[in-house]
Chain A
């Protein structure tokens, strides 16, 4: 049973480009969460999605950031017009239906903006 998968593991972008981060939850999990981690910091919640619905996006910056979790396929975190401050590790987690106490994390995508 594969765990949460994220790709790419490393992503380098120049300022102004777009970054697309993908997350495939564990089999049977319908809840997806995105977190951002700056160096030497803990994880900061960004957004919580269920299939085709955004449940809570209170941690998501209002501009340039968007997330989706379509009926088919992985969840996507999209960052438009990246800036150097977007450089961070982005982690996705998933949990099964009706239970989001324990979240299972993927290996993360490390984004570097040059």
Chain B
């Protein structure tokens, strides 16, 4: 299976609710990142969390990292219809080559 695997695969919520997505990985990492992809578009970088950090905030986003469990979570608070997109976690696998390893993503649908 892949280095970064998100769950759930799909999530449907009402506007105003919180959305939580999880990501698990297998190897040691230097950092983990979350990206967003709107349908048919490129990826937009959301947030990066380093291996020595446990939690990070950016606006309505909150990311946690548990290196002992090799897992991360992305929380979007007070969701909006515009948050509808696929969300991917990506890791560097602890290497320095620069290539990112992506999971299959969580498809989030926020209903107005």
A interface, CB within 8 angstroms of B = 4, 31, 33, 35, 40-45, 48, 55-56, 58-59, 91, 93, 95, 100-108, 110
Contact = CB atoms under 8 A, between A and B. Distances in A.
B88 A101 contact: no
B35 to A, nearest CB: 8
A103 to B, nearest CB: 6
Contact of A42 (B40, B97, B104): B104
Interface of B: 2, 4, 30-31, 33, 35, 40-45, 48, 88, 90, 92, 97-105
23 contacts: A33-B98, A35-B102, A42-B88, A42-B103, A42-B104, A43-B90, A45-B99, A48-B97, A48-B98, A48-B99, A55-B97, A56-B97, A56-B98, A58-B97, A58-B99, A91-B43, A101-B31, A101-B92, A103-B45, A105-B43, A106-B42, A107-B41, A108-B41
Contacts of A59: 99
Interface residue SS majority, chain B: loop
B89 to A, nearest CB: 9
A59 B31 CA distance: 20
A56 B95 CA distance: 12
